[in-house]
Structure 1
C-alpha cells in the first residue's frame, strides 16, 4: 500500500481560487492530482469562499477545466450564508443582498425575500460581486445602522486572479464596517462551518488551500490537517511569520504533494539544509539534498521560525541564497 499523504485521508476539501485555478487558468498539475485522487477512491469536495457564482456554475466551470466535479461536490460561502440567515430569521424575512444573483438565489431558496434597498430590511447579506458599487454599499450601511442582521459570505481582502491579487469581498465588507462600526457574522472560511459541511460522512478530511487566513485557519478551527500549496495568495514570508492558528500541517509546492510521504511535507529538518537562529535572524546554509530543495528549505525554516519566534532570514552560501531568492525571501546576487 502506498504510504503517501493521500493514503491517510478519505476526502479532500479543496479551495478553488489560487489552489486549483487562477482566473481562467488551471494551476499546473491540479487536474491530474484531483483525478488521481478520485481514481484511488478519495473524492474532492470543492469549498470556495467566492459567493459570486452558483454551485452549478462552479461545477460546470470545474468540469470545463477537466476536474471531476458535480453540483453536489461544490460548497460555496453563499450557501452557508443563506443557511445562517434562515436559522436566525422567520420565513419571508426581508434580506438586502449585496452581491450577485447567485447569492440572491440561495437566499430565496431558504424561504427569505430579497430586497434591493434598506427600507424594512431585516438582514443584509454580503458576497463578492465585481459590480458592487457605492449605492448598494450605502443601502447596506443604512440597514446595518438600523439594526439589520449582517452576514458576510467571507472576509477575504483579496481575490487571486491571473492579473494578481484584486479586491475581494473583505475589502467591500470593510467599507460597511468603517461606516457603521459593526462587525458581520462570517459564513465562509476561516469559520469552520463551511468546511464541516463539506465533510459529509468522511472521517479523515484533508483541507487544501493557498491562503493562511482562510483555508489553513479554517482547517485548524475544525481540527483537521491541512496542506498549504504555494500557488496562490500566501507565500514564504507569510508562512515564516504565521501565528499558531495559521500554521499548516504540510507544505507543498502544489497538489503533486499528495503523492509524497507526509513526513517529507511537514515543517521540520530537511536533508541538506541547516537552519540556525543568530540573534534576530534565521541563517540558512547547505545545498538541499531532497527532491524539492527550495520547498525543503522553507519547511526547515518554518520549523525554526515558529519555535524561535524569528522570521527574518539570510543565506550562508550560494545554494542558500538561490533558495531564498526562489522563495521571494531575498534577491539573487547580481539581480
Structure 2
C-alpha cells in the first residue's frame, strides 16, 4: 500500500480464483453501503454481461464498481496511486449503471467532518450528505476565485481523456465566453499544432480559435527566438507541433548535421536509437539541450505510457547534462502564457489534473491553482500530497458552478437566487 492504490488492486486481483468472472471493488469507509446495492450490481452484470457495472446518483458514478475479468489485465497494469478510475474512463461508453436514490449509500468518510455528518445523519435520519452545508460549501470554495480574472487550462485529463470528453468542458468554456473571461489552453503536449487542437476540441462541441491554444512547442520556439541568433540550426526530436512552431520562427531544422546551436526534444512516437545517438553526440559537442516538457508519462487509451520526460531522461543519462525545460512546471511556459493572456500572475488561475506540473508550476509562478480529479490525480493522492492547490474540484462541471457563483457575487446577486 505504500506504493499506492494500484498495488492494493493487484493484490486483490491476484488472490482471486481463476474461475472468477468479475470482481467488485468496495471502499472500506463506505459506511452506507447495503447488501441490496451489491446484489443489484451483480444482477445487472448477470443480465447484461457489461464490462463495468457501477452505481449512479445525480449523473455521477459511485462505488462499488464491478469489473468483468476481461479488464483484470488493465487493472493490474495501473501504477502508483491509480485504481480503477482510469479503466472506467477508458470504457466510459460501456459502463452499465445502476441508479441509486439514496446518496448515503455511496457516501465514504474521508475526513473528520465527513464522520461528523455521518453521525448527524444517523441521529437525524434525513440530512443528505451535502445537506444544508452545500450552499455554504460552494460559497467557501468559490472564495479561492475572488481575485481571478482569467484562466489557463490544461487539456489532457481536464477536457478529455484520449478520445473521450470529460464532464463539464463544453459548459465551462461557454460560460467563460459568455462572461468575457479571458482564457488560454495551456498544454505540455508538444505533438499537435494549435489548429489540430482546435479540431479536436470541436469534436467535443467546444468552439474556439487556434489562438486560444498554447503548447509547449510554441513556448519553446518563442524562448529560442529570444536567446539564439536568427536562422540558427537545430537538431530536433519531435512531431508536427514542434516542427511547425520552430519553422515559423525561422529556424533551420536537421536530424543529420550535428553542428547545431541546440538540441530540442519533444515527444516523438517515431523515436529511434539513431535519433538518441545523434542528439547525444550533438549535445556532447557543445549544443544547448532544451526540452519542451518534463512529463515522464502520458495517458493513452491503453493506459499510462512513456512521455517526453522519458526521452529527456535517456538523453540526460547519455549526455551527463540536465536539459533546460520550457514546459510546466517551469517558468518559461507560464511567462509566455501570461503575456498571451494579458494578465498578471496573481489574477490568473491554472486549472489542471497534475500536482507535479500544473499545481507546482502555478504556485512557483504566483498563479492560483485549481486541481481537477478527473485526470491523473486521485482524491486520495491529492489529500496526501504536501503540495496543496488553492481549490480542488471533481471536474469542470463543479468549477463551472463555482465560477458562475463568483460571477454572480461580483454582480451583487448570489447565484441561483
TM-score of the aligned structures, taking structure 1 as reference length: 0.72
Aligned to 2:164: 25
Mapping of residues 146-295 of structure 1, within 5 Å: 146-199=285-338, 200-203=341-344, 204-243=347-386, 246-260=387-401
Aligned to 1:110: 249
Deviations 1:238-263 (A, max 9, x none): 323423xx32111111112224559x
Rounded to whole Å, the distance in 1 between the matches of 2:334 and 2:206 is 20
Once the two structures are TM-superposed, the CA of residue 178 in structure 1 deviates from its matched residue by 1.2
Deviates further, 182-191 or 36-45? 36-45
1:257–1:106 CA distance, 2 compared to 1 (3 A): same
The aligned length equals 260
Asked if the contact 1:6/1:37 (under 8 Å) is kept, the reply is no
Q: Higher Cα Rg: structure 1 or 2? A: 2
Deviations 1:128-161 (A, max 9, x none): 1222221211111111111111110001011122
Asked if the contact 1:239/1:247 (under 8 Å) is kept, the reply is yes
Once the two structures are TM-superposed, the CA of residue 9 in structure 1 deviates from its matched residue by 2.5
Rounded to whole Å, the distance in 2 between the matches of 1:44 and 1:21 is 17
Rounded to whole Å, the distance in 1 between the matches of 2:358 and 2:227 is 26
Once the two structures are TM-superposed, the CA of residue 24 in structure 1 deviates from its matched residue by 1.1
Q: Which runs of 5+ in 1 are unaligned?
A: 265-335
Detail structure 1 runs of 4+ shifted over 3 Å in the superposition: 2-8, 259-262
Mapping of residues 322-333 of structure 1, within 5 Å: none
Q: Which runs of 5+ in 2 are unaligned?
A: 1-137, 406-417
The answer to whether the aligner puts 1:78 opposite 2:221 as a matched pair is no
Once the two structures are TM-superposed, the CA of residue 118 in structure 1 deviates from its matched residue by 4.8
Mapping of residues 35-54 of structure 1, within 5 Å: 35-54=174-193
1:49–1:228 CA distance, 2 compared to 1 (3 A): same
Once the two structures are TM-superposed, the CA of residue 211 in structure 1 deviates from its matched residue by 0.4
Rounded to whole Å, the distance in 2 between the matches of 1:149 and 1:31 is 41
Rounded to whole Å, the distance in 2 between the matches of 1:206 and 1:78 is 21
Rounded to whole Å, the distance in 1 between the matches of 2:254 and 2:226 is 19
